[in-house]
A and B are shown apart, each in its own frame.
Chain A
């Protein structure tokens, strides 16, 4: 004969059929604690993902729960997104993803941020071209005698003076080139603490330029593309200026560097939008998301 143990809550009968009225019922198992682990996921600047693996040594797939916590705004977003598993709210668009799985050896927690950690995207505040018609605005190359350069400006750059940035990447979207020949040009920063609004290309091109520059060779392309370049050293030189202040503006100049005549990279004037000019700057730092991983001895019977 088998024996059973039931312990009813105060005021309830042990013969109740409602499990909520019982504190203990030998017919109903309870999750049995196997281990609890405090760990964390560190996502360094410029990265979007991180994982944490906890080996459980059970040789079968166990049930588990995890909690993510911390004061960083990203962690608060995780909570908004339902990071406290296994709670079931909707995952909000633009919030980080957090997922966790168990297999027969470990529990793995994965976090993916919606954008690179500590990356800020600045869109253009102004763009100037030495030669611009109703059809095309020449970014770089050599149209004939003019049409040899352009400039772009970004405002409210939030970097403290002298901070070592992780990266700065530029993109000029939806540009085109003339056919057959390479286009050669150099890109400089404007070597000023807070470069002023643009008036005309000649005046802007006459401003002091950074020592750092990028010499570029752009192959001819028969289709529209996005021109991208890494400007980390150029931006760093501007930020390192003694009187640079967070929130200032910075500018960049494209100069021809020996392109053949009538070979240019350009943007279609009627289609141009300052939103197509982007500077993505990654500042240093590490996002640490604390985790508590609780593993039960109860098997997921697969």
Chain B
């Protein structure tokens, strides 16, 4: 007999057929588990770019999320590919949206950040790697 583990939300029935009613339900194919998360900094020379290379040992291409403080010291962490428009006050740097420059492989996460300033800057970033494959 197959055993099932379900945790329903308060006020919802354990027999509900609605996935949104559950905190956890082993009948669903998977959960988005965070297997790696960390912060980092990237120092970038004036008016050029640098790439953070984050190694992982997952041996598959994981689903990833990144957050970047494009304007150092602002406390604003942009989600995903923050390719800010030229007039944006936070565009001290931006994430290179070209898939050849910011991407994830079965060995590393690459985040290329472009410095728009005429002086060196150090940009903070944060990332999550999940226990699910991004390949299709």
Contacts and interface: CB of A to CB of B under 8 A. Distances in A.
A88 B32 contact: no
Contacts of A298: 34
A302 B68 CA distance: 10
A20 B81 contact: no
A87 interface: yes
B122 interface: no
B56 to A, nearest CB: 11
Contacts of A112: 85, 87-88
A103 B132 contact: no
A63 interface: yes
A269 interface: no
Interface in A65-109: 65-66, 82, 85-91, 97, 99-104, 108
A102 B67 contact: yes
Contact of B85 (A19, A85, A97): A97
Contacts of B28: 23
Given A7-B26, A28-B33, A61 B77 contact: yes
Interface string A41-78: 00000000000000000000101111000000000000
Interface stretch (B11-19, B46-54, B123-131): B123-131
Nearest to B128: A63
B37 to A, nearest CB: 8
A30 interface: yes
B82 interface: yes
Interface in A10-55: 10, 18-20, 22-25, 28-31
Contact of A300 (B67, B82, B85): B67
Nearest to A82: B81
A110 interface: yes
Interface SS majority for chain B: loop
Contact of A89 (B59, B65, B97): B97
A1 interface: no
Interface residues of A, number: 41
Given A19-B58, A302-B124, A101 B77 contact: yes
Contacts, number: 125
B5 A22 contact: no
Contacts of B87: 112
B79 A302 contact: no
A40 B94 CA distance: 25
Contacts of A82: 80-81, 97
B26 A24 contact: yes
Contacts of A90: 97-99
B77 A31 contact: no
A23 B26 contact: yes
B121 interface: no
A144 to B, nearest CB: 46
Interface of A: 7, 9-10, 18-20, 22-25, 28-31, 61, 63-66, 82, 85-91, 97, 99-104, 108, 110, 112, 298, 300-302
28 contacts: A7-B5, A7-B26, A18-B60, A19-B35, A20-B30, A20-B132, A22-B131, A23-B28, A24-B5, A24-B24, A24-B33, A63-B79, A63-B126, A82-B97, A86-B64, A86-B65, A86-B66, A87-B80, A88-B80, A88-B97, A91-B97, A97-B84, A99-B82, A101-B77, A103-B76, A112-B88, A298-B34, A302-B124
